[in-house]
A and B are shown apart, each in its own frame.
Chain A
Amino acid sequence: MSDQPVIRTRGLTRYFGAKCAVHDLSLEVPRGCVFAFLGRNGSGKSTTIRMLLGLLRPDRGEASVLGTDSRQLPPELRARIGYLTEEHQLYGWMSVREAGDFQSAFYPRWNEKIFRGVIGHFGLKPEARVKHLSRGMRAGLCLALTLAPDPELLILDDPALGLDPVARRSLVESMIYLTRRSDRTIFFSSHHLSDVERVADYLAVLDYSVLRACCPLESFRTSVQEVQMRFAGVPPPLPTIPGFLQAFRTEHELRVTCVHYNRETEKALRSLQPVAMEMVPLGLEEAFISYLGERGEKTFILSDTEVAS
Chain B
Amino acid sequence: MLDVAANCTVCVNTVTVALNITINTGSSVPIYKQITEQVRLAVATGKLVVTDQLPSVRVLAESLVVNPNTVARAYADLAREGLIETRPGRGVFIIPKRKVMSREEGRRRLEPLLNTLISEGLAMNFSPDELQDAFEKKLSQWQNEKGGKQ
Contact = CB atoms under 8 A, between A and B. Distances in A.
Quick check: do A and B touch in the complex, using CB within 8 A?
Answer: yes
B61 A176 contact: yes
Nearest to A282: B28
Nearest to B70: A198
Contact of A176 (B1, B29, B31, B68): B68
Interface residues of A, number: 32
A281 B28 contact: yes
Contacts of A179: 67-68
Interface residues of B, number: 23
Interface string A187-215: 00000011101111100000000000000
Interface in A277-309: 280-286
Contacts of A286: 28
Interface stretch (B19-27, B36-44, B121-129, B142-150): B19-27
B49 to A, nearest CB: 29
B25 to A, nearest CB: 4
Interface string B110-136: 000000000000000000000000000
Contacts of B58: 180
Interface stretch (A39-47, A58-66, A131-139, A167-175): A167-175
A114 B3 CA distance: 11
Contacts of A267: none
B2 A118 contact: yes
Interface string A115-137: 00110110000000000000000
Interface string B4-31: 0110010000000000000101111111
B28 A121 contact: no
A91 interface: no
Contact of A198 (B2, B5, B67): B67
Contacts of B31: 197-198
11 contacts: A117-B1, A117-B3, A169-B65, A172-B65, A176-B65, A177-B5, A197-B25, A197-B31, A198-B70, A284-B26, A285-B26
Interface of B: 1-3, 5-6, 9, 23, 25-31, 58, 61-62, 65-70
**5 smallest beta-carbon distances between A and B, as pairs:** A194-B25, A281-B28, A198-B66, A283-B28, A117-B2
